Amino acid sequence: MNYASIRSTGMAVPAKVVPNSWFNEQLGEDVDTWLQENVHIYERRWLTQGQGVADLCEKAALQALERAGLAADSLDLIIVATDTPEYISPSTASVLQDRLKATGAASFDVNTACAGFVSALDTAHKYMAADEHYQKVLVIGAYGMSKYLNVNDKKTATLFADGAGAVILDALDAGASGQMAAMQVTKGEYHSWMGIYAGATKTPSNAEVVAQGDHKLKFVKRFPTELNPEMWSSIARELAARAKIQVREVKMFFMTQININAIWGMLDILDLPHDRAITIMHKYGYTGSAAIPMALNLAVEQNKIQRGDYIMLIGSGGGLAFAGSLIRY
């Protein structure tokens, strides 16, 4: 059986920087202080008019391909994880396949909201384990949520941002690297608590929908504070047990980046130091399905992880969807 080994990483963010001070002016109140003290967000990047999420996917993919020393036509499969696609149809992955000229690659999108990258990574691993045809796979988490924000809603507009992170996977025999354990969990009872509830078949976009702002991202109900820390720590323990290692052996955790306190809360439950998880929301805001691969890319660039280290990726997103992957990097 083949194992999906991470060969290279890449990331891309828009050029447009939106500092917290912009919201002070937009909303007419001091939100900068709250954002810095409570969620540790200082600025974020937003796409501009005319730019789409496929632009970020392309840049991240090209960086990962260059670092891997691969041509795009050597790819066998492209998976894009996003809930802010270029179009409702066709898939963003097909747009990317054409732009890269990855003529030998099949492609599809995955949508488990902000858990999407980890879900896509697990999907890629299972493709590669089951079918020897899939030797080189590109997996991208991408987010263009600024396009769906009501800039006057301080509960959403101040948090969410845009970006993309990519990995190239090699199919290798069992050995020094690869995914060791993975799991996905859904708590569908929360599906109506946060999302974009117009623009598709249930409520197609029209003038009335747009006027009411129903095509924008909304927090409908407040999620329990303990939900993510408890779910993430449970997933971490389960994955470690499946791989027959101790949680404390994991060198670095890569988590959904919407709330730094949730990340610290998980580490407290696991009795691990806070520096065991890399955080990137400070400069990039909350980039959804792109946050985890972006954090992974930065950890690689900064030599925070080395080959042979155990790393754990755990994401959660609307639905609610949870996904975890334990990897020997």
Domain annotation for the chain: domains and CATH numbers: 2-174 (3.40.47.10), 179-328 (3.40.47.10)
SS3 135: coil
CA proximity to 164, closest of 132, 117, 111 = 117
Each residue's pLDDT tens digit, 55-66: 999 999 999 999
- Tell me: pLDDT of 91 over 80: yes
Residue 48 is encoded by which pair of tokens?
């501009």
- Tell me: pLDDT of 222 over 70: yes
Strand pairing report for 194-195 and 218-219: antiparallel
- Between 214 and 241, name the one with better pLDDT: 241
CA 278, distance to chain mean position in Å, is 14
Each residue's pLDDT tens digit, 177-187: 789 999 999 99
Asked if the bond preceding 320 is cis, omega within 30° of 0, the reply is: yes
- Are the CB atoms for 143 and 287 separated by under 8 Å? yes
For residue 198, what pLDDT is reported? 85
- Tell me: pLDDT of 220 over 90: no
Q: What average pLDDT does this structure show over 166-193?
A: 88
Q: What average pLDDT does this structure show over 84-111?
A: 97
Task: Label residue 316 exposed, middle or buried (CB < 10 Å: 0-12, 13-18, 19+).
Answer: buried
For residue 176, what pLDDT is reported? 66
All residues at 6 or more sequence positions from 37 whose CB lies less than 8 Å from its CB, including other chains:
none
Give the global pTM: 0.94
For residue 88, what pLDDT is reported? 93
Which residue in this structure is represented by tokens 């789409």? 52
SS3 67: helix
Q: Is residue 175 very low, low, confident or very high in pLDDT (cuts 50, 70, 90)?
A: low
Collect contacts of 91-100 with beta carbons under 8 A, ≥24 apart.
92/53, 92/54, 92/57, 92/142, 95/54, 95/57, 96/54, 96/57, 96/58, 96/61, 96/140, 99/54, 99/58, 100/58, 100/61, 100/62, 100/65, 100/72, 100/75
Rounded Cα distance, 117 and 124, in Å: 10
For residue 36, what pLDDT is reported? 94
188 DSSP 8-state letter: G
SS3 223: coil
CA proximity to 297, closest of 329, 265, 250, 260 = 329
Each residue's pLDDT tens digit, 13-49: 999 999 999 999 999 999 999 999 999 999 999 999 9
> In 10 A of CB 168, how many CB atoms?
23
* Average pLDDT in the chain: 94
Q: What average pLDDT does this structure show over 261-290?
A: 96
Strand pairing report for 310-317 and 250-255: parallel
Which of these ranges, 64-68, 218-222, 288-292, has the smallest mean pLDDT?
218-222
H-run or E-run covering 80 = strand 77-81
